[in-house]
């Protein structure tokens, strides 16, 4: 089955968006009914109405860190663009309309305030992921499978299997987590090139660290763009990130 991607701004786009909204609420409704009909057993799994075992798609630590991270990312990127504009690395600046802070001093203040949310929330996520076995969902990472499923995804033939990460998702999630680690290390290297010199040196010195920081930001922005686009295309993936969702196993 082929699927036409609506062009933003056209009537087809708004019709698709309306459909997406309807699917959203159907999903919410299904989740609510599943929760009402189900009974929680001792292990935290639920038994569905049909007697099948039900588990949460996104456990609460994942949902909490996901949305806190979303706030931190928006604040860090918006203020980071304003900081970039004070001394651009390339032949362009970010328009004031999409930056946060209004001027360099305020942008730095926002950036160095929300870096704590980004880092502490990130550490909490990695600790939970390591302890809960969540990171097993990112395995295996085979380049051939990634390419094959990427081909399917780009032609809209890759089926979304609820509760499972396909190879493209695994690649993107591992990639953005790596970019997250790189952006924090390069950021600390730029912030404190004397006291935290090892981070600066790891990035090839202060001058290069600014480029590393910029390209890590670009990777994250690229991820966010794909991530949000995919949620628009497969809107049923959004409610479980709010409610946790339920899936029969």
Partner 1 sequence: MKIDGSRRKFLHRAMAFGAVAALPGCNYEDPQNPDLADRFLHAMSDWNDRVQQALFSESTLAPTFSPDQITNPPRFNAFYDISQAPVVDEASYRLELGGQIQDKQGWSLGALNALPQEQQITRLICVEGWRVIGQWGGVRLSDFLRRIGADTSCKYVSFKCADGYYSSIDMESALHPQTILATSFLGQPLTPAFGAPLRLRIPTKLGFKNPKNLIYLGVGNVYTGGYWEDQGYNWFSGS
Q: Which residues 133-192 are close enough to bind partner 1 by CB under 8 A?
A: 190, 192
User: Which position has the token pair 């699927």?
Assistant: 3
Nearer to partner 1 by Cβ, of 108 and 241: the residue is 108
Contact flags string 106-135 toward partner 1, x per CB under 8 A: x-xxx-xx--x-------------------
Contact 239, 27 (CB under 8 A): yes
| Residue 83 engages partner 1 in binding (rule: CB under 8 A) | yes
| Residue 207 engages partner 1 in binding (rule: CB under 8 A) | yes
Host H or E run for residue 248: strand 246-248
| Residue 103 engages partner 1 in binding (rule: CB under 8 A) | yes
| Residue 198 engages partner 1 in binding (rule: CB under 8 A) | no
How many Cα atoms are found within 13 Å in the side-chain-facing hemisphere of 102?
1
The 3-state DSSP class for residue 46 equals: strand
Give CA–CA dist 223/231, Å, rounded: 12
Task: Please select the residue that binds partner 1; options are 1, 4, 7, 194, rule is CB under 8 A.
Answer: 194
Buried/exposed code over 170-196 (b: 16+ C-beta within 10 A; e: otherwise): bbbbeebbebbebbbbbbbbbbebeee
Please identify, among the stretches 101-109, 118-126, 225-233, 237-245, the one whose residues bind partner 1 according to the rule CB under 8 A: 101-109
Task: Point out which residues bind partner 1 (CB under 8 A).
Answer: 78, 83-84, 86-87, 96-106, 108-110, 112-113, 116, 190, 192-197, 206-207, 210
């Amino acid at each position: 089955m082929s699927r036409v991607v609506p062009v933003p701004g056209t009537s087809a786009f708004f019709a698709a968006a309306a459909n997406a909204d309807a699917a959203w609420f159907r999903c919410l409704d299904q989740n609510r009914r599943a929760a009402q009909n189900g009974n929680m057993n001792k292990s935290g799994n639920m038994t569905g109405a049909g007697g099948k075992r039900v588990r949460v798609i996104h456990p609460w630590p994942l949902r909490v860190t996901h949305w806190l991270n979303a706030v931190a990312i928006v604040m860090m990127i918006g203020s980071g663009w304003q900081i970039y504009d004070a001394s651009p690395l390339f032949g362009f600046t970010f328009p004031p309309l999409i930056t946060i802070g209004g001027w360099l001093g305020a942008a730095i203040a926002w950036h160095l305030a929300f870096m704590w949310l980004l880092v502490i929330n990130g550490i909490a996520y990695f600790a939970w992921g390591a302890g809960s076995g969540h990171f097993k969902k990112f395995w295996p990472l085979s380049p051939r499978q990634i390419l094959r499923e990427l081909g399917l995804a780009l032609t809209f033939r890759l089926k979304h299997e609820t509760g499972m990460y396909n190879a493209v998702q695994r690649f993107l999630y591992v990639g953005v987590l790596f970019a997250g680690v790189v952006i924090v290390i390069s950021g600390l290297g730029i912030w404190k090139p004397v006291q935290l010199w090892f981070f600066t040196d790891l990035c090839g010195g202060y001058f290069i660290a600014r480029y590393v920081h910029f390209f890590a930001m670009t990777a994250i922005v690229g991820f966010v763009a794909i991530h949000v686009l995919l949620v628009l295309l497969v809107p049923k993936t959004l409610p479980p990130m709010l409610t946790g969702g339920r899936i029969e196993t």
